[in-house]
Amino acid sequence: MTLVIKSDLDALVYLRETKALPIVSVWAVEFAVIVSKWTTRRRTRLALRQLNAHQLRDVGLTPDQALDESARVFWKA
């Protein structure tokens, strides 16, 4: 049987419902997901600082909006 997981949330629900895994393993996976999200947020916010006004218009942001978003800390969504 092959399991197809559609998203991170589906994966976490599956892990929580599966009794074969120790709770520490589930916590480790949840922690890894959180760190991965934080890393992605930090990388994309740093990249946002590098965009010029023309590129920001392409993604639908003003320079002020981009500055505000890039100044946010990585743990805040």
Domain layout of the chain by residue ranges:
23-71
11-20, 31-40, 45-54, 58-67: least confidently modelled range: 11-20
Distance of alpha carbon 23 from alpha carbon 40, whole angstroms: 26
Whether the per-residue pLDDT at 15 is higher than 80: the answer is no
Query: Residue 1's pLDDT is what?
Result: 41
Average pLDDT (13-21) is: 74
Query: Residue 77's pLDDT is what?
Result: 86
CB-based burial of residue 35 (10 Å sphere; 0-12 exposed, 13-18 middle, 19+ buried)? exposed
Query: Residue 12's pLDDT is what?
Result: 74
Average pLDDT value over all residues in the chain: 86
The model's pTM is: 0.67
